[in-house]
Structure 1
Amino acid sequence: MGGTNGETLDQIAAGFEEETGMAANMEFQDSYENVLTNTLAAFDSGNVADMFQVDSLFAQQVFDTGQVRPVAEILPDDFDTSIFLDNVAEFFTTDGELASLPFNNSNAIMYINRDAFEAAGLDPDDPPSTLAEVRTASQTLVDEGVTQYGIAWPNHVWFVETWYGFEGELMTDAENGHTGDPSTFYAPDPIYDLYDWWKGMADDGLYTNPGIEAWGEATSLFIEQETAMLLTSTASVAGLIADSEEFTVDAAPYPTISDTRVGPVIGGASFYVPDGLPDARYEEIGQLLQYMSKPSVQTTWHKGSGYYPITQPSVDSLREDGWFEENPMYNVALEQLQQGDASDPATKRALLGPARNVQTVIQDKSVDIVNAADPASEIDAMKAEIESVLAEYYE
């Protein structure tokens, strides 16, 4: 966690030290991917951190090390895990117990430049809700000379996963890997529709690709008003409000492939704890985990970052204080989460052992699909390559 989110996390650590007298020493490691790589290496060397923050995408890969202890066994006995929002806790619960501590959780939303919409004759209070409407708005923005492109987002697997989830489509068999070892990657009709739209947007200059995993570059295109729409995490709310000094930013629900809106997949990360530490150390870690779940701490984290509060008491407190009424941008992702069908397995993010490899294939092949003369053949090639990755890992 860097930037404003890192500053808020440091503030939380300082509060923990003030309350308990124990210092929480945190190390910034640049990205989720680097944390994963460094943690796996630390397991091999025996020099792993007391806690580590890993992207939900890599959950199964962490479990498969066999070197983590469920946080349910570390939290104080009087800790009530039912305080977590159901559709958050479900993902992080395995074999009936909380395996890692939810903390910075999110889903993808759309940000718009209200000034650009108005300049193009579009209604910022009625932003696009489907991909077809995004194309129409993008065409107007570009034709009117308001922005160079209509929309951008980082080329990251999470956005593809989110489109699957809203359509109610599974990415793999075994209910996205939650009920067994997956072997099949699904490419249903809506995904062909997605890539047809994506390619058409690129071909017609209505979308620009900022690069693979290019979070900062995508945000810069929006801040510099090269594009009037941006798909990214709700965790960007606070930063975008701070950085959009020359225009008014607003947030809207994620645009869907069709009119179907089953629900988003969860994003963000959770805290894992390694096995093999002294009992006294687990007691201390348990205190920190409990502290980070306190309503007041979750409220501080939410307001300072934009990640939604993931405990019901913190949500209730914010609603009672009128926070969401005064700051509706912060409510978009939370409503999107709670309006989703948490019982549908498609809204559970895929739990794959070779998640990093699958992620890389989808991101690389997305570029090939968008640039291809025949996108369908490239989608078929992506499916075959992912199934090869799954087979190699699980066999």
Structure 2
Amino acid sequence: MGGTNGETLDRIATDFEDQSGIGVNMEFQDSYENVLTNTLSAFDSGNVSDMLQVDSLFAQQVLDTGQVRRVEEILPDDFDADVFLDNVAEFFTVDGELASLPFNNSNAIMYINRDAFEQAGLDPDDPPRTLAEVRSASRSLVDQGVTQYGITWPNHVWFVETWYGFEGELLTDGENGHGGTPSEFRTPQATYDLYEWWKGMSDDDLYTNPGIEAWGEATSLFIEQEVGMVLTSTASVAGLIADSEDFEVGAAQYPSISETRVGPVIGGASFYVPDGLPEERYGEIGRLLEYMSQPAVQTEWHKGSGYYPITQPSVDSLREDGWFEENPMYGVALEQLQSGDASDPATKRALLGPARNVQTVIQDKSVDILNAADVDAEIEALKTEVDAVLSEYYD
């Protein structure tokens, strides 16, 4: 949580300190991947933080250490976990218990350069909703000389997961790891449709690859108006509004492979608490976790970052105040989340023990697919490699 998001989180921590008298010392560690690496090392050394902000992608990997205490056992007895939105609580509840505290949660959406759309003869109030429409809009932007490319996004597994989720497809068997041991990476027809489109966009210079996990680079391409569209997190809303001084930015729902729109998978992170701390410390941690879930705090976090509010009271408060009517970009991700089917396993992010290794394979092989002469063969190679990672971990 660097930049404006980090500043908002710092204010929340300071307010908690002022109200409770409990000190909070937060350390910025650059990326989710680095936090995971440092967390696993800390478990090995015994020098672990009191709270850990872990990407939802790595949930099972952290739980599998056997060194975390479920937050449901730490939160005050009168804490009502039912305040969390169903689509949020579904993922973070494992074996019937809230394993970690949801906080900065998001889904992937599309941002558009409204000025560029108008210059290319496109309607910014009717943005693309499917991959075919994204290609058409990209062609207009490029052919009219408005932008060099149509669209970009970081090469990150989350975007592939989101496309699967909208199609109602599972990334793995075992209901994405929520209903059994995952052993196989699934490659339905949607996988071939996605990669054929992606490669075609790349071959025709309608898409540019900013790099693996290149979040900042993708955003910069959009801010510098090299592209007219970018797929990234709703957490970028506040920053993009602040940085797009030379054009008007708009937000739209994530484009799906087909007309099917089952729903997005969750993104962002949650707070885990290690086991083995002094018992009195858990009381203080529980108070901070409770504080971070309060409607006023969730509202402050949402307004300062763009992450959607994750409790129903905070959503109700924002709606009553007319916030989403006055700031429609902030409501796009929430609307997308709540329009999804929370009961469909496809909308639950994959819960995989070897998540980081699976992530790396999918991202690396996506690059191979873009450069391949035979897309089908590379997709099969992708499946073979992910299956091997799953087999090595679980067998």
Calculate the TM-score normalised by the size of structure 1.
1.00
Match of 1:9 in 2: 9
Q: Which amino acid aligns with 1:243?
A: D
**In structure 2, C-alpha distance between the alignment counterparts of 1:304 and 1:92, rounded to whole Å:** 24
**In structure 1, C-alpha distance between the alignment counterparts of 2:179 and 2:146, rounded to whole Å:** 49
Q: What do residues 120-166 of structure 1 show as CA deviations (whole Å, max 9, x unaligned)?
A: 00000000000000000000000000000000000000000000000
Alignment of 1:60 with 2:50, yes or no, is no
Match of 1:152 in 2: 152
Q: Secondary structure at the match of 1:334?
A: helix
* Residue 181 (structure 1) shift: 1.3
**In structure 2, C-alpha distance between the alignment counterparts of 1:182 and 1:17, rounded to whole Å:** 43
- Within 5 Å, give how 1:310-389 maps onto structure 2: 310-389=310-389
Match of 1:143 in 2: 143
- Within 5 Å, give how 1:242-321 maps onto structure 2: 242-321=242-321
Q: What do residues 34-68 of structure 1 show as CA deviations (whole Å, max 9, x unaligned)?
A: 00000100001111000000000000000000000
Q: Secondary structure at the match of 1:105?
A: strand
**In structure 2, C-alpha distance between the alignment counterparts of 1:343 and 1:183, rounded to whole Å:** 22
Q: Secondary structure at the match of 2:245?
A: coil
**In structure 2, C-alpha distance between the alignment counterparts of 1:221 and 1:215, rounded to whole Å:** 10
Equivalences, count? 395
Q: What do residues 81-101 of structure 1 show as CA deviations (whole Å, max 9, x unaligned)?
A: 000001101100011110000
Q: What do residues 345-373 of structure 1 show as CA deviations (whole Å, max 9, x unaligned)?
A: 00000000000000000000000011100
- Within 5 Å, give how 1:117-136 maps onto structure 2: 117-136=117-136
**In structure 1, C-alpha distance between the alignment counterparts of 2:310 and 2:24, rounded to whole Å:** 21
- Within 5 Å, give how 1:209-248 maps onto structure 2: 209-248=209-248
Q: Which amino acid aligns with 2:298?
A: Q
Q: Secondary structure at the match of 2:202?
A: helix
Alignment of 1:207 with 2:179, yes or no, is no
* Residue 196 (structure 1) shift: 0.4
**In structure 2, C-alpha distance between the alignment counterparts of 1:22 and 1:352, rounded to whole Å:** 35
**In structure 1, C-alpha distance between the alignment counterparts of 2:72 and 2:216, rounded to whole Å:** 35
Q: What do residues 222-241 of structure 1 show as CA deviations (whole Å, max 9, x unaligned)?
A: 00000000000000000000
Q: Which amino acid aligns with 1:133?
A: E
**In structure 2, C-alpha distance between the alignment counterparts of 1:378 and 1:353, rounded to whole Å:** 24
Structure 2 unaligned residues grouped into runs of 5+: none
Q: What do residues 286-319 of structure 1 show as CA deviations (whole Å, max 9, x unaligned)?
A: 0000000000000000000000000000000000
**In structure 2, C-alpha distance between the alignment counterparts of 1:83 and 1:131, rounded to whole Å:** 35
* Residue 174 (structure 1) shift: 0.5
Runs of 4+ aligned residues of structure 1 deviating over 3 Å after TM superposition are none
Match of 1:194 in 2: 194
Q: CA-atom RMSD, angstroms?
A: 0.4
* Residue 180 (structure 1) shift: 1.9
**In structure 2, C-alpha distance between the alignment counterparts of 1:191 and 1:393, rounded to whole Å:** 24
Give the share of equivalent positions with the same residue, in percent.
82
Q: Secondary structure at the match of 1:39?
A: helix
Q: Which amino acid aligns with 1:274?
A: P
Match of 1:80 in 2: 80
Q: Secondary structure at the match of 1:256?
A: coil
**In structure 2, C-alpha distance between the alignment counterparts of 1:257 and 1:370, rounded to whole Å:** 17
**In structure 2, C-alpha distance between the alignment counterparts of 1:117 and 1:358, rounded to whole Å:** 36
Match of 1:19 in 2: 19
**In structure 1, C-alpha distance between the alignment counterparts of 2:360 and 2:314, rounded to whole Å:** 36
Q: Secondary structure at the match of 1:163?
A: helix
Match of 1:41 in 2: 41
Q: Secondary structure at the match of 1:358?
A: helix
Match of 1:105 in 2: 105
